[in-house]
Structure 1
Amino acid sequence: MNGRDALAELLARHDRVEELRAYAAAEYHGDAARRLAELLEERGDVEGAIAVYRDPGDSGSRRVFGPCPGRGSRALAGYLLDLGRVKDAVAVLQRPMPRPAGLTSVGPVDGPPF
């Protein structure tokens, strides 16, 4: 349905927030989490919507933007920019990304880019 999750849309349309929250925790692609954030914003809970992007815990929301570290941060920053919260968005983008376990670097990789 236009690249959207039909069940998430149905739950949102009927204002079934807790069921949508549970579905977002289980749904792999993150469409339900995205829709949950949109619904929370529509209801005036902007901070709740931000929390969906900022701190998904172990839920499926963590996978909203795939396994690439930082993609969730970019989505959060984009959302904050949409809200006009430029300083908050910049702060999100300036946070250091965690290094995946087992990844080591040698030489100039840890240094400046030039």
Structure 2
Amino acid sequence: MAACGRVDEAVEQARTHSEGDTWYAVSHVARLLAGDGRLEEAVTALSPHPTANSHDLAEYLIDLGRVEQAVAVLHQHRPQPPARSTGPWHETPPF
């Protein structure tokens, strides 16, 4: 649909889908909007899911000239490594 110039219709159908508000569906919607030159709308779409879509969000913010915001998004959502377990399975092979 989007390839045929029907971006608004494609976005509407994606958003009304039962999983339309999930991070992965929003990511696709944002790509459709960005591909249509609607970067502000793409940023707005991604904002509710910043941890799952931080790289895409930062990319669109940079394209809009909002570099400081992009850096803040990337630093804010840096995943922490899991704590090392103290269980006995780490002491004796086989792991």
Is there any run of 5+ residues in structure 1 with no aligned partner, and where? Answer: 1-7, 57-61, 63-69, 107-114
Question: What stretches of structure 2 of length at least 5 have no aligned partner?
Answer: 86-95
Q: Over alpha carbons, which structure has the higher Rg?
A: 2
Which residue of structure 1 aligns with residue 89 of structure 2?
none
Closer/same/farther in 2, CA of residues 83 and 91 from structure 1, 3 Å limit: same
Task: Give deviations 1:52-81, integer Å, cap 9, x for gaps.
Answer: 22214xxxxx8xxxxxxx562111111111
TM-score (structure 2 length as normaliser):
0.53
| Secondary structure in structure 1 of the residue aligned to 2:17 | helix
The alpha-carbon deviation at position 26 of structure 1 amounts to: 4.7
Report the 3-state secondary structure (helix = DSSP H, G, I; strand = E; otherwise coil) of the residue aligned with 1:25.
coil
Name the TM-score, length of structure 1 as normaliser.
0.46
Q: Does 1:9 align with 2:2?
A: yes
State percent identity of aligned pairs.
33
The counterpart of 1:81, out of the listed 58, 62, 81, is 62
Q: What amino acid sits opposite 2:83 in the alignment?
A: T
Residue in structure 2 matched with residue 104 of structure 1 by the alignment:
83
Matched positions, count: 82
**Is the 2:58–2:69 contact (alpha carbons within 8 Å) kept by the matching residues of 1?**
yes
- Counterpart for residue 90 of structure 2: none
Task: Give the superposed CA RMSD.
Answer: 4.0
